[in-house]
Structure 1
């Protein structure tokens, strides 16, 4: 059965001993069978200048954590008390990341470093540095970590994912299977993908080969801007079949900025259950938590929310995102319809719990 698989959920790769290492060489996996199509190949872009420009800022990440923590991450028996042997046993994982500031600020995935007891970052020149976590956001699978070096580090800048279209070329760089310093090329296959991993799914779909260990690595546009953070693949085998997903920069950049400054991200919450409606007339409220923000403001099951702070909403996902962007404690003007009449309520937005209705 084809399954959606986060492609570096602590892949248990040996980081020493029998692990094949290819040094710092770069590998470009080109698409479309270029060797068999020399005439067409002349019309396709070369990525060599882009590689030289951005790959020095791409890093490999190795993590260790206790076996007990790994079991909890993987859905193990969290109620069982770990034995002394469990607490000291270590497991290994690998992933990727990219430097966004010469002081050593690095972006990666939460599922790469979340819960790690030790993080080691390998730079493109082979330098290894310990890293600390500045902040993580599980709902978008983004983490920010930091290393300290004796000199400014190479870095890359954010691109604008709103400007990339289906069919545009992208290049992915990272650490697949622990090999390090590998780049692959492909195109944007689709936008706005919801892979049912969370309420904020809005992924870019890529056909560039990405594999276990690429998690947290960057997807670049041809100008060298980071337009996506690689996070998941669909695969029946766990390896690349040409369907990968990246968090678009329009989402990732804002999350990273907040995590860098505050270490966590507070999102707004209404306290309602929601359902889309074919009528297109707002979003239907299916349930209201009596003690939640919406309940205190008089909203009821059966109401249709039309807008939040004059921002029209016509899908449950759109409403969730609109509310999430409002800082908890702020008041929002919510327009809704009930039995054909339009009403308004000033709702004091709450803090979104980890698990709850919207």
Structure 2
């Protein structure tokens, strides 16, 4: 009899685990997070930029510091933020980290403002309900509810760091908005949406472990993603056959004007026609700092893991010659000037 009770206890525990594992329905998610939205609303913002653009953000200090996504304010000539009471405040960029797509703004507020606490110690969990606040679809500082898919989503090169993936129904205009947990703490910032596998996903830049970085951004740190200034192409079977080269390394298809590679004299793919025949001139990157690379993504990821101003030594093959060249990494040369 005792064994029978044990089996019943086991079955009940298993049933409870299954029930616990069932995802929350949209109405349950909304009910759990609507009070969080009402408390957070006074600190949430609409960001307006010139050239014309709209994004989202939120106060992170009573003095009017704002956290948003860097791509919302990148290249803007002027900024202003608008709160839930439709009060507008001029703003300026203080610091940013392009790698994580985060930026801090300073606003000209007249008195202490409500702000949102940041959660940098605890990561969201798959299946956890979250609230995003944004300004998409013509709506003003509106709530978006959903669940976490995964906390380690790689969408490189669209986002350089690791993102949180959710099913929150976000849209353009929500970027930069806060994403809050049931405790009312901001766990991430909205950065992107997409359908990489035919299924809609929204992506967040997590704040886990970023205390030091956020302090640096508030102090004015500006971190650009480093570039060597090249357009790269995979050497697949067709390319290897056309150019008469082995499937080794990464082909430089083109150079970005003003980039480190152009200044160092590297060559992009050029086709010359002589006597009715095509002749190809090009460089192939074989290694970076002694590490071999045979695909574009791996090489890009390695370069972007560094800092602007760092140096990288490339091993390059040109025709029958192999040589090394040292490049100093720069910000995106297309943004210079």
TM over 0.5: yes
Structure-2 separation of matches of 1:211 and 1:297:
42
Q: CA 1:314/1:109 → structure 2, altered by over 3 Å: closer, same or farther?
A: same
Pick aligned residue for 1:132 from 88, 91, 115: 91
TM-score with structure 2 setting the length: 0.58
Which residue number in structure 2 is paired with residue 154 of structure 1? Answer: 115
Which residue number in structure 2 is paired with residue 171 of structure 1? Answer: 131
Task: Encode CA deviations 1:260-309: one digit per residue, 9 max, x unaligned.
Answer: 4447544433233312356996544334679853456576644334344x
Pick aligned residue for 2:45 from 43, 54, 60: 60
Structure-1 separation of matches of 2:294 and 2:115:
43
Residue 207 of structure 1 and its aligned partner are, at CA, apart by 0.9
Matches within 5 A, 1:256-295: 260-262=218-220, 264-277=222-235, 283-287=250-254, 292-294=259-261
Task: Encode CA deviations 1:39-90: one digit per residue, 9 max, x unaligned.
Answer: xx6xx8974598279726741226375xxx44xxxxxxxxxxxxxxxxxxxx
1:122 has 2:91 as partner: no
Q: CA 1:160/1:287 → structure 2, altered by over 3 Å: closer, same or farther?
A: farther
Q: SS state of the match for residue 154, structure 2?
A: strand
Structure-2 separation of matches of 1:171 and 1:59:
12
**Of 142-151 and 334-343, the range deviating more from structure 2:** 334-343
Structure-2 separation of matches of 1:229 and 1:258:
17
Count of aligned positions: 283
Which residue number in structure 2 is paired with residue 331 of structure 1? Answer: 311
Which residue number in structure 2 is paired with residue 101 of structure 1? Answer: 61
TM-score with structure 1 setting the length: 0.56
Q: CA 1:307/1:355 → structure 2, altered by over 3 Å: closer, same or farther?
A: same
1:191 has 2:191 as partner: no
Residue 132 of structure 1 and its aligned partner are, at CA, apart by 0.9
Residue 97 of structure 1 and its aligned partner are, at CA, apart by 1.0
Instruction: Quote the RMSD (CA, aligned, Å).
Output: 5.1
**Runs of 5+ consecutive residues of structure 2 not aligned to the other structure:** 1-22, 238-246, 268-281
Q: CA 1:325/1:201 → structure 2, altered by over 3 Å: closer, same or farther?
A: closer
Structure-2 separation of matches of 1:51 and 1:290:
49
Q: SS state of the match for residue 178, structure 1?
A: coil
Matches within 5 A, 1:237-316: 243-249=200-206, 260-262=218-220, 264-277=222-235, 283-287=250-254, 292-294=259-261, 301-308=282-289, 315-316=295-296
Structure-2 separation of matches of 1:250 and 1:281:
38
Q: CA 1:316/1:117 → structure 2, altered by over 3 Å: closer, same or farther?
A: same
Residue 172 of structure 1 and its aligned partner are, at CA, apart by 1.8
Structure-2 separation of matches of 1:100 and 1:159:
13
Which of these two proteins has the greater Rg computed from alpha carbons? 2
Conserved? CA contact 1:97–1:107, under 8 Å: yes
Conserved? CA contact 1:288–1:295, under 8 Å: yes
Residue 106 of structure 1 and its aligned partner are, at CA, apart by 0.8
Task: Encode CA deviations 1:287-344: one digit per residue, 9 max, x unaligned.
Answer: 4679853456576644334344x77755424433433454444323445678999865
Structure-2 separation of matches of 1:302 and 1:110:
34
Conserved? CA contact 2:97–2:224, under 8 Å: no
Q: CA 1:164/1:118 → structure 2, altered by over 3 Å: closer, same or farther?
A: closer
Conserved? CA contact 2:42–2:114, under 8 Å: yes
